[in-house]
Structure 1
Amino acid sequence: MAGDYLVYGGLGSGSVPVEAALTLLAEPYRVIERRVWEDPAAAEEMAKVNPQRQVPALVLPSGELMTESAAILIHLADSHPAARLAPAVDSPLRPRFLRWMTYVSAQIYSLYWIRDDASRLAADPAHEPILLERTKQRILDCWRMMDAQVTPEGRFMLGDEVSVLDLYLTVVSRWGPRRKAFYEAAPGLTPVVKAVDALPGLAAFWPERMPFFDGWEG
């Protein structure tokens, strides 16, 4: 419908935290599936929206297009201040929020561009397993470094209310090398992601967009 948010994304992808945020905000939205990492035709269709052929992309009710998951999540939170999905601009927690939103995006999420298709950087097919192993170890190192520097302020990262940072962390921590490896690398952050997994407001959402299938933790 006109005026709804339009999400370009895919099951289990980087669009999931965006969809989760819209769900918690009770904002009407629809999803156009574009599993670009496994379907060349979907990637070509996505290029008409985002030349980088990446999801998520969000079309705002105004018609404005946004890309980059962290930017989208920050915008959604800031444009719905009553929902308290991010610290206010003048909050003492705001620098911490921005730091870790950007950290997850730049240091961890970005590595999945390689992991989704290691041939993008491998000079030879024989190099692909090496790239996959090294990016895996880099991801775990980044989780360890984050865990060593963060003490959650309450049930969630910034207190007892969920934020888009918690949604972001929870989804990205489910990607390879999967949750069991995350739990080992980041024991201090583990209660946060488990709390988001069990959030009542997302109880119907997770089975549809990122199901807890048998062995999902790795």
Structure 2
Amino acid sequence: MTDEYLVYGAVGSGSVAVEAALTLIEAPYRVEEVVTYESEEERRRMAPHNPMRQAPVLVTPEGETITESAAILIWLAERHPEARLAPPPGDPRRARFLRWMCFIPAAIYSIYWVRDVPSRLVGDDPKAQEKLLARTLNRISECWAVMESEIEPAGDFLLGDEVSVLDLYMAVVSRWRPLRPRFHQVAPGLGRVARRVDALPALHGFWAERFPFDDDYAD
């Protein structure tokens, strides 16, 4: 047995939130790059590790496989309480933490399965695909606006003055389309928190390597 974690994921993917958490925890880990959003071949490569053929996947030092990004992040925060990346059970912030940790994948993250390969739902009709892509962008924006209206940051970050895995999750998913400019437009309060996560000194080099901004992403 090793004390090293193994992450299956890719640059700019949902694994980045997991990698960011491990970086803040200061736990040893390595990444096996599997770019599932690029091709069917890459999704087949992921199949032995996750039957859903999706990233991220975390293999613990004990050899247990965990899928689903929110589950991984919650588990890591509980496994490493010394990192203070989530309110513990019994904390008055716990219900809010769990609500939004479930909201992001259920309402927003899941839409990208459709967007990555629109033909999954509408076939090969280009006009139907174009309409689906436009409508899903609107839906993502609507969901960020709902979160904005329901959660008021309790400090520098969403749950207080300490960064949590919820902040990491929100900061990564909000980098995807419709990209940060629209995110800041519909959710300015969340956007201020996201900027603070982007600017964390402990993650400065990490962001540059694993999810660098370009002109299309920056606000």
* TM-score, with structure 1 as normaliser: 0.97
Give yes or no for contact 2:5–2:60 (8 Å, CA) kept in 1: yes
Q: Kindly provide the CA deviation profile for residues 26-83 of structure 1, in whole angstroms up to 9, marking residues without a partner as x.
A: 0000000000111222211100111111000000001000000000000000111111
> 2:40 and 2:18 mapped to 1: Cα distance?
23
Gaps of 5+ in 1: none
Instruction: Determine if the alignment matches structure 1 residue 119 to structure 2 residue 145.
Output: no
Aligned letter for 2:148?
D
Partner of 1:196: 197
Partner of 1:66: 66
Give the superposed CA RMSD: 1.2
* TM-score, with structure 2 as normaliser: 0.97
Aligned letter for 1:136?
L
Aligned letter for 1:12?
G
- Which secondary structure does the structure 2 equivalent of 1:114 belong to? helix
Partner of 1:46: 46
> 2:156 and 2:53 mapped to 1: Cα distance?
36
Tell me the CA shift for residue 186 of structure 1: 0.2
- Which secondary structure does the structure 1 equivalent of 2:6 belong to? strand
- Which secondary structure does the structure 2 equivalent of 1:153 belong to? coil
Partner of 1:153: 154
Partner of 1:142: 143
- Which secondary structure does the structure 2 equivalent of 1:189 belong to? helix
Tell me the CA shift for residue 184 of structure 1: 0.3
Partner of 1:171: 172
Tell me the CA shift for residue 148 of structure 1: 0.7
Partner of 2:12: 12
> 2:4 and 2:146 mapped to 1: Cα distance?
39
Give yes or no for contact 2:181–2:217 (8 Å, CA) kept in 1: no
> 1:72 and 1:204 mapped to 2: Cα distance?
23
Tell me the CA shift for residue 214 of structure 1: 3.1
Partner of 1:95: 95
Q: Kindly provide the CA deviation profile for residues 126-162 of structure 1, in whole angstroms up to 9, marking residues without a partner as x.
A: 3101111111000000011110111100000000000
How many residues were matched structurally? 218
- Which secondary structure does the structure 2 equivalent of 1:204 belong to? helix
Aligned letter for 1:30?
R
Tell me the CA shift for residue 213 of structure 1: 2.4
Give yes or no for contact 2:155–2:161 (8 Å, CA) kept in 1: yes
Aligned letter for 1:108?
I
Partner of 1:84: 84
> 1:193 and 1:9 mapped to 2: Cα distance?
22
Tell me the CA shift for residue 216 of structure 1: 2.1
Tell me the CA shift for residue 189 of structure 1: 1.0
Tell me the CA shift for residue 124 of structure 1: 4.2
Tell me the CA shift for residue 3 of structure 1: 2.8
Aligned letter for 1:109?
Y
Aligned letter for 2:13?
S
Provide the identity percentage: 56
